[in-house]
Amino acid sequence: MALALAWGMPQHPRGRVASISDEKLQELRDRVDLVAVVQRRVQLKKSGRDLRGLCPFHGEKTPSFYVVPDKRIFHCFGCGKTGDAIKFVMELEGKSFPEAAEALALEAGIELSPQDPQEARRAARRAALGEVNEKASTFFERVLWEHPKGKVAREHLAKRGISVETAKAWRLGYAPNLWDALCKSLAQKKVEASLVEEAGLGIPRGKGPGKGTLYDRFRGRLTIPIRESGRIVAFGGRLLEGESEAKYLNSPETPLYHKGQVLFALDRAREAVRREGVALFTEGYFDAIGLHQAGITAAVATCGTAMTERHLELVSRAGAKELVFIFDGDAAGIRAATRASELAAAAGVTARVLVPPDGEDPDETVARTGTAGFRELLSAAQPALEFLLDRELLRVGKDASVEARVRTVEAVRGIVRAAPKGLARDLYIDKVAQKLGAPPDAVRMALEAPARAEQGSARPTTPLPQRPPMRAGAARMAAGTTRQRSAGGDADERPQGLARSPAPPETAGSRPQAPRPAARRLAQQIELRIVAQMLQGTELSLLVESSGAAARFTHAGLRELAERAFAQARAGSLDAAALVQSVEHDALRDKLGKVIEEIDASVRGVERDQAFLATARRTLESALRKHASVAGQEEIGQRNAAAAPRVAHGDGEGGQKTGA
């Protein structure tokens, strides 16, 4: 019955595919070979006129999954999944209907939407870029395994404990430390130079006799192909030889690759994620590879960027009901874990945090504990909300001032309210109360009362952790409600993720205080320039980080943005455009974009060489000095204002509530 139902019923939402005509869809269904499509993922054996295998959608030991070639459907008698080739690809690869249709059409050589020639051209271009990446990967692999220059990489892999089988399965390779080995090889294969450049593999020389010819982006680097929908969309490169400030380098954004939208290893993790209902997020390519090698196959990694809600959406669509963030215990790792936990909380996704002991990398830990031991660590991982709560509570003790304790209650409000009502929330409240030395009922009252900002008297005293803007995808994923923070008010019970904060950036995260517009505005103008300038280059970002200026930024949004830029710069993957895009406040984003445009315009056509860097450095250093002086004035002003009695009014009531 289910079989008959599945076939012939319009079970797929047509979604965005207005451009795929019904005739084309029918042609696709007619021409796609379901058996071949399934067989690429599932081993099938003849069973009468049908084929039978182990169901990829539920764990089983005896096969109850059938492919019925006559009817062009699959059906599982164990879990009831059933449908046609498009449905199979949708379910197995977590694709939307148009994505699945497009993928199948590509294989079958059918042009799905000839009525949009522009999109057809773009698709053809993406396919061509995928082929260039494929050729490059083959080149890198040959160097790794067959060329004397690959020795350093083979040794590195052995030292890391990556087996030859693993390295080959992941198609690791080596980009030799030469200027144009790959570009020359691709040219010999008659690959268009413009494609090599667009794929991000070649960079045009700016001057000298070979001006305009390409040199290799990846040099002296172990290459890690990043795959999506069955093709290589980009590479990560780990430095092994030669000079570079970046240990890891990634392909730039291309028409084929948007790093905020791709998860490394998801193609290999998909089955385990679906089976186990859990996705493990690691920080690096080799963390993920190491875990897979040890049999922990639900591990994925972001491609050198902070986590985005699109990443959450990808694993959620793959069947993850729960996430575990496996991040280092260093400052950058803790920041990443904090951000990821906030993102998950905002999306209403259950998440836990595992920090490997003793500063180990996850692949080191699993090598030490073995697979079973690591699974024990995983199951004992701390809930993400508790992790966030502990982070906030670390800052305050029983001896803290009333004001500090009240601030803490405000700071943890969103975290506690993201916990499900009932026991879990009660336990969090107890924990806060205990840490603050306050009666639990008083803390509960303070936490469950509307934020003081909502009472119209004052803004929240402490900036709540910044939540990245949610878009529709993650919003759909959200279960229930969660906090949304803004300087204008704490909108805890609002369905999450729908609007950007309405507050103007100047006030975001500011503490109640006597207004000091002049110094503050000047400081923030300088901060804006500093951020815009440092986004021009990794070295410039690192310069700002080492100056320590960001800690004194009066603008919370810019401070947070700078910190994320530092993390990217350290990872060698500074992505200015994505960072600007991630700014929550429209006004701030626009302003920052404008300043960056100005800077870009002023250096257009200038070669980004040492002289350019030196000039940029000097400009930046002067801005940093100016900021230090202005921020100093601003801090003195704040201290004076804090000493003035009128500023304390916002804290009085809350102070009594915590029963101090």
Task: Provide, rounded to whole angstroms, the least separation between the CB of residue 503 and Zn ion.
Answer: 49
Nearest distance in Å: CB 329, Zn ion? 40
| Residue 637 vs residues 486, 514, 517: alpha-carbon distances, Å | 24, 9, 11
Q: What is the rounded CA–CA span in Å between residue 388 and residue 150?
A: 44
Q: Which helix (H) or strand (E) holds 278?
A: strand 278-282
279-318 footprint of Zn ion as x/- string (CB under 5 A): ----------------------------------------
CA-based nearest residue to 298, from 275, 269, 277: 269
What one-character DSSP code corresponds to residue 420?
A: P
**What is the β-pairing status of strands 50-53 and 65-68?**
antiparallel
Looking at the Cβ atoms of 75 and 352, the one nearer to Zn ion is 75
- Alpha-carbon distance values, 548 to 44, 104, 342, 541 (Å): 60, 52, 25, 11
566 neighbors 541 (Cβ within 8 angstroms): yes
d(CA 316, CA 396): 36
Residue from the set 2, 19, 33, 78 that interacts with Zn ion by CB under 5 A? 78
Please say which residue, 78 or 204, places its beta carbon nearer to Zn ion: 78
Rounded CA Rg of the chain = 27
Smallest distance, Å, CB 90 to Zn ion? 15
**What is 491-514 written as a DSSP string?**
-TTSPTTSS---S-GGGTTPPS--
Contact segment (CB under 5 A) with Zn ion among 14-22, 72-80, 410-418, 488-496 equals 72-80
Closest CB 239 distance from Zn ion, rounded Å: 45
Which range in 75-83, 450-458, 481-489, 499-507 contacts Zn ion by CB under 5 A? 75-83
Q: Give whichever of 78 and 488 is closer to Zn ion, judged by the CB atom.
A: 78
Q: Residue 56 or residue 650: which is nearer to Zn ion going by CB?
A: 56
Distance CA 11, CA 3 (A): 12
- Indicate if the alpha-carbon torsion angle 577, 582, 588, 590 is positive or negative: positive
380 three-state secondary structure: coil
Report how many residues bind Zn ion under the rule CB under 5 A.
6
- Pick 58 or 516: Cβ nearer Zn ion: 58
Residue placing its CB nearer to Zn ion in the complex, 274 or 311: 274
Kindly give, in sequence order, each residue whose CB lies less than 8 Å from that of residue 23, ignoring residues fewer than 6 positions away. none
DSSP state of 485: -
- Which residue lies nearer to Zn ion by CB, 58 or 500? 58
Contact 333, 327 (CB under 8 A): yes
Query: In angstroms, rounded to a whole number, what is the distance separating the alpha carbons of residues 425 and 416?
Result: 6
Question: What character string, x for contact with Zn ion (CB under 5 A) and - otherwise, covers 551-590?
Answer: ----------------------------------------
CB nearer to Zn ion: pick between 53 and 130: 53
Positions 28 through 67 that interact with Zn ion (CB under 5 A): 55, 57-58
Q: Measured from the CB of residue 81, what is the shortest distance to Zn ion in angstroms?
A: 5
Which run of H or E residues covers position 133?
Answer: helix 117-146
Structure tokens given for 260: 């905020």
Tokens read off for 108: 């079958």
Closest CB to Zn ion among 77 and 215? 77
544 contacts 558 by C-beta, under 8 angstroms? no
CA–CA dist 629, 613 (Å, integer): 24
Q: Is the dihedral of CA 496, 497, 502, 508 positive or negative?
A: positive
Q: How far is the CB of 365 from Zn ion (least distance, A)?
A: 33
Nearer to Zn ion, 65 or 285 (CB): 65
CB atoms inside a 10 Å sphere around CB 357: 11
Strand runs labelled E in 132-259: 173-175, 202-204, 214-216, 221-228, 231-239, 248-250
**Token code pair at residue 100:** 């699945």
Q: Which is nearer to Zn ion, 52 or 555 (CB)?
A: 52
We find the least distance from the C-beta atom of residue 401 to Zn ion, in angstroms, to be: 60
| Nearer Cβ to Zn ion (91/563) | 91
In the complex, what is the shortest distance from the CB of residue 231 to Zn ion, in angstroms, rounded to a whole number?
28
Angle at 600 between CA 597 and CA 602, to 5 degrees: 110
Q: Which of 2, 3, 54, 79 binds Zn ion (CB under 5 A)?
A: 79
Question: Nearest approach, Cβ of 76 to Zn ion (angstroms)?
Answer: 3
Reduce the DSSP state of residue 47 to 3 states and report it.
Answer: strand
Closer by beta carbon to Zn ion, 58 or else 71: 58
Q: How far is the CB of 563 from Zn ion (least distance, A)?
A: 45
Which of these ranges, 78-86, 190-198, 311-319, 404-412, lies near Zn ion under the rule CB under 5 A? Answer: 78-86
User: 204 near 331, Cβ under 8 Å?
Assistant: no
Nearest approach, Cβ of residue 49 and Zn ion (Å): 20
Helix%, strand%, coil% for the chain, nearest 5: 55, 10, 35
Which 381-410 residues touch Zn ion, going by CB under 5 A? none
Query: Is the distance from CB of 316 to CB of 288 less than 8 angstroms?
Result: no
Segment interacting with Zn ion (CB under 5 A) among 70-78, 162-170, 236-244, 512-520: 70-78
Between residues 94 and 284, which has the closer beta carbon with respect to Zn ion? 94
Of 76, 90, 353, 447, the residue at the interface with Zn ion (CB under 5 A) is 76
- Taking the complex as a whole, the smallest distance from the CB of residue 62 to Zn ion amounts, in Å, to 11
- Closest to Zn ion by CB, 78 vs 440, is 78
- 44 forms bridges with which residues in the sheet? none
Quote the least distance from Cβ 453 to Zn ion, whole Å: 51
Inter-residue contact 585 to 504 (CB < 8 Å): yes
User: What is the x/- site pattern for Zn ion, positions 447-486, by CB under 5 A?
Assistant: ----------------------------------------
Residue 71 Cβ, how far from Zn ion at the closest point, in Å? 18
User: Phi and psi of 228, rounded to 5°?
Assistant: -150, 135
Provide the minimum distance between the beta carbon of 68 and Zn ion in the complex, in angstroms, as a whole number. Answer: 15
Residues that bind Zn ion (CB under 5 A): 55, 57-58, 76, 78-79
